[in-house]
Amino acid sequence: MNLRLKRLANDYNQIQQYLIDNPHIILKRITGNPPEKYYLEYNVRSIQIINNVVSEINSHQVEITIPLEYPSIQPQCRMLTPVFHPNIAPHAICIADHWAAGESLKDVVIRIGEMLTYQNYSIKSPLNGEAAKWASENQHRFPLDHIDFRMYGSNTMLNNSLQFSSASVNTAVLQSPSESSKCSNCGNKSSKQNFLTCRNDHNICVDCQVKCQNCGKTLCIICETKKCAVCGKISCMDCMEFCPSCSKYHCSSHTKECHICGEKNCFNCIIECPQCGLYVCGSHFKNNENMCFSCFYK
């Protein structure tokens, strides 16, 4: 089982444990083995707009989809039933301004419940401006429901305020974990093997370590790594370049500098001028004239 599948399996086990004695959230359906899509029903008090009137509703359907880049990229969440909330739009639920790869899917499930009941909302940069205006004028009504979503399940919640950046565990030290230690990715609690602890304090078992396929550094799986959009290699951030044209990351060996602006573009976005033989980005190439700006303005 690869590292992503181990993380998905661990998330599913946590959610099952969390929902055992939780009467407010029901797992209706899953897709994938381990699951990559969840359909949940929240039986909590929230609000909709019905006939132009703000009305209380007690049942809500939610879909959570796990992207291929998870956990580096946050789950994609959306409502299947309408909700009137500053941070919820028909296409998306804004579960976090800054996603931390160390957060679990259980954290997401809990946060959505807190959002539906208006225990969690923000009127700054809202997805729904009308709901933000209404919320600012009706704060005395919140929360709509006083459910403590964090009291269910046996696993300790991660601190939602944590923010992680990419880091190598080359500088980390080997340690023998106590019985309570577990792998931050797959949940392995075995005390018979050594763990690596990265600079972001993630305990990572041997199975959940990855190597940069460019420089060979050992990386923590839940710290930020990137996949080259050209060759597909997993690399650390030191070996990657961001292409401003396609907004994707690429190995440094798959980029070239535009001779006009100096920005590095990937092989898919850089163009060789047939007139001068130099490489330019798409914004400095005249397609209709089939030449770069330097040749065109000579």
Percent of the chain with pLDDT over 90: 46
3-class DSSP string for the chain: CCHHHHHHHHHHHHHHHHHCCCCCEEEEEEECCCCCEEEEEECCCEEEEECCEEEEECCEEEEEECCCCCCCCCCEEEECCCCCECCEECCEECCCCCCCCCCCHHHHHHHHHHHHCCCCCCCCCCCCHHHHHHHHHCHHHCCCCCCCHHHCCCCCCCCCCCCCCCCECCCCCEECCCCCCCCCCCCCCCCCCCEEECCCCCEECHHHEEECCCCCCEEECCCCCEECCCCCCEECHHHEEEECCCCEEEEHHHEEECCCCCCEEECCCEEECCCCCCEEEHHHEECCCCEEHHHHCC
More confident residue, 48 or 199: 48
Predicted pLDDT of residue 165: 33
Report whether CATH 3.10.110.10 matches the domain 3-151. Answer: yes
pLDDT of residue 88: 96
Region 222-251: mean pLDDT is 79
At residue 160 the predicted structure's pLDDT band, cuts being 50, 70 and 90, is: very low
Residue 173 has pLDDT above 60, yes or no: no
pLDDT surpasses 50 at 277: yes
Given a cut of 60, is residue 39 above it in pLDDT? yes
Q: Pinpoint the residues of the chain covered by CATH 3.30.40.
A: 240-296
Q: What is the pTM of this model?
A: 0.60
Q: Which residue has the higher pLDDT, 291 or 101?
A: 291
| The CATH number fitting domain 240-296, selected from 3.40.1000, 3.30.1360, 3.30.40, 2.60.40 | 3.30.40
- Residue ranges, comma separated, of all CATH 3.10.110.10 domains in the chain are 3-151
pLDDT of 184 above 90: no
Lowest mean pLDDT among 91-95, 119-123, 182-186, 222-226: 222-226
pLDDT, greater one: 36 or 71:
36
